[in-house]
Structure 1
Amino acid sequence: MTLSALRLVGIDLAWSPRNPTGVAVLDATGTLLEARTLTSDADLLAFLHAHTPGPAVVAVDAPLIVPNDTGRRDAEAELARVYARFQAGAHPANRTLLGRYGGLRGEALRDALQTRGFTVNPANLDRPDVRAVVGVYPHAAMVALFRLTRTLKYKAKRQGRDAQLAAWAAYRAHLRALAFADPPLQGADALLNVDPASLRGRALKTHEDTVDALLCAYVALYAHRWGESRLQVFGNVQAGYILTPAPPARESGRP
């Protein structure tokens, strides 16, 4: 397979199968090929089958490995020690909690992709022949990629609509700025030009899911571009992990 066959996929996986899941696909140049929401597990698997016949990194905002029945994984605890000061701690993941939403969808997706030759190991994501599915967390990724002092509260409705829309404006501006990053994000203007102020209810939630999937896809692209040199894995493959671009403290000396 050539580099041009590489696909970087982001999935904002809904915890409940009753809710839509956001998906986005980038090619090797960082150009957005497709971004949308899907409404069933069958549609999601068909989408992935169509878009990942060759090398691919699939970055999923959901826990893919959850061995613990209660409490939280070491991954959440380790991430909190770094990102809590940025208000970017992750929700605890355990089998009991996730089961209340209709099952462990991340594990089911992982298993389906493993039957198609994907590995869940987050190492060596920069290989040209990579086929990997990894667990990511957009809020931590935002802090690392955008050099934020706190997460963007674009989902927080209680703060009021004006504050929420201001956070949306900042989020969209940061995503647009990735056009000048290494690697660049390209071809996302149509999605990022949608004004969240014009959306409410389900339409706004659908847009949110799609944009978050775009960020996950960029994390996949970033992981393939830089590999372990600019990534950090909280937790491990056996007990569950969260992969993110290296946090600001670790990356402070980069050129």
Structure 2
Amino acid sequence: MRFAGCAPAWRPGEAGKKPSCLVVLDGRGGLISNSFPEDARKIAGAVEEHAAEGILVGIDAPLAVPNERGTRPIERVLSRVFLPAYSASRRMFRGRPFAEELLAELQRVGVEYTDYPLPGREGRWAVEVNSAAALRVLALERSGERNGGLARRLREAPELRYRKGNKEGRAAALREAISILWDTPGLRLRTGGLTDDLSSAENVDLSRLEVTPQLSHAELDRIVGLVEATLAAYTVHRHWRGRDGSMVVGSGREGAVMLPAGRELYELLSAGCREEGVPYV
């Protein structure tokens, strides 16, 4: 069984103009490969290469967007507990969302969308994840901070702004994000055959990159893709292994997102789901 994280260029103005990123882990959480597919068909092709023994793909993008405007119910739940949330509506895409094209291509290679893949069950599935929310959860888990309630700690947790801003701020945020990934149990980012050449089309060693303000914004965007895809792959691997805790907020047609979640966060999110009338598992 393989575990892939995909950070697609799904936002308006990105699709077809920026590369996506795909990271693949083995059953122990070890890095197998990463690459930068240019469109939905190439993403699906890269996934298919690793799907012979089954694959679970975490896609860092809104996959089910039924609302014409406004936000989905799951975004309201995440916002309640101070977790980063997408803002996605069909109106913002002015047509078919890129994620729908991606799901169609994945289905073509035998990978089906689901809102809740059973832990430990082999198959070919794709689920929605949220890398920014996952990163905030991991940062709190790694810090070991226990003072105050979890809601307060989430509210006060610093936001790593690596997507926008000046290069100094983006580089600093990316270095912190990479440090969190490096210290995350169950993730093995160092393997053979990797390169520190950021311009390489595949197998870039995230841990060896010199992330400095001297990099261009395009190069920083490439590192963002690696970080987000790694977080997505970790999220589905953690869920499938059934250790450390995970949760799915929402349901398929209305939108569902998988998150790493220990007991305290599970209880906090469950309360928000009940108040908003949103299903959860």
User: What is the TM-score with the length of structure 2 in the denominator?
Assistant: 0.75
Q: C-alpha separation between the residues in 1 aligned to 2:18 and 2:263? A: 33
Q: C-alpha separation between the residues in 2 aligned to 1:247 and 1:94? A: 30
Contact 1:57–1:220 (Cα < 8 Å) also in 2 = yes
Offset, 1:205:
1.3
- 2:228 is aligned with 1:212: yes
Superposed CA offset, 1:187-236 (max 9, x none)? 26822210121521322211221221112111121111127x82222221
Contact 2:182–2:207 (Cα < 8 Å) also in 1 = yes
Structure 1 unaligned runs (5+)? 1-5
- Cross-structure match for 2:31: 32
Offset, 1:38:
1.5
Residue 213 to residue 231, structure 1, CA distance change in 2 (3 Å): same
RMSD: 2.4
Superposed, 1:183-194 pairs within 5 Å as: 183-187=186-190, 190-194=205-209
- 1:113 aligned to which of 98, 106, 127: 106
Residue 78 to residue 115, structure 1, CA distance change in 2 (3 Å): same
Q: C-alpha separation between the residues in 1 aligned to 2:92 and 2:52? A: 34
AA at the equivalent of 1:185: R
Residue 136 to residue 118, structure 1, CA distance change in 2 (3 Å): same
Offset, 1:24:
0.7
- Cross-structure match for 1:152: 160
Superposed, 1:213-228 pairs within 5 Å as: 213-226=229-242
User: What SS is found at the alignment partner of 1:242?
Assistant: strand
Residue 42 to residue 66, structure 1, CA distance change in 2 (3 Å): same
Offset, 1:248:
7.6
Structure 2 unaligned runs (5+)? 141-153, 195-204, 268-281
- Cross-structure match for 1:249: 264
User: What SS is found at the alignment partner of 1:54?
Assistant: coil
AA at the equivalent of 1:60: I
Contact 1:76–1:234 (Cα < 8 Å) also in 2 = no
Superposed CA offset, 1:74-127 (max 9, x none)? 1111111122xxxx4323211111236xx3121222233334443422324422
Contact 2:117–2:125 (Cα < 8 Å) also in 1 = no
- Cross-structure match for 2:7: 12
User: What SS is found at the alignment partner of 2:62?
Assistant: coil
AA at the equivalent of 1:142: L
Q: How many residues align?
A: 235
Percent identity over paired residues: 26
AA at the equivalent of 1:150: P
Superposed, 1:38-77 pairs within 5 Å as: 38-77=37-76
AA at the equivalent of 2:234: Y
Q: C-alpha separation between the residues in 1 aligned to 2:94 and 2:32? A: 33
Offset, 1:42:
2.3
Contact 1:231–1:246 (Cα < 8 Å) also in 2 = yes
- 1:167 aligned to which of 168, 173, 189: 173
User: What is the TM-score with the length of structure 1 in the denominator?
Assistant: 0.82
User: What SS is found at the alignment partner of 1:46?
Assistant: helix
Contact 2:120–2:240 (Cα < 8 Å) also in 1 = yes
Q: C-alpha separation between the residues in 2 aligned to 1:77 and 1:250? A: 16
Contact 2:59–2:232 (Cα < 8 Å) also in 1 = yes
Superposed CA offset, 1:147-166 (max 9, x none)? 17233122231xx4443332
Contact 1:63–1:135 (Cα < 8 Å) also in 2 = yes
Residue 151 to residue 95, structure 1, CA distance change in 2 (3 Å): same
Q: C-alpha separation between the residues in 1 aligned to 2:217 and 2:169? A: 17
Q: C-alpha separation between the residues in 1 aligned to 2:219 and 2:117? A: 38
- Cross-structure match for 1:93: 88
Q: C-alpha separation between the residues in 1 aligned to 2:190 and 2:115? A: 27
AA at the equivalent of 2:120: R
- 2:176 is aligned with 1:176: no
AA at the equivalent of 2:240: H
After the TM superposition, list the runs of 4 or more consecutive aligned residues in structure 1 that deviate by more than 6 angstroms. Answer: none
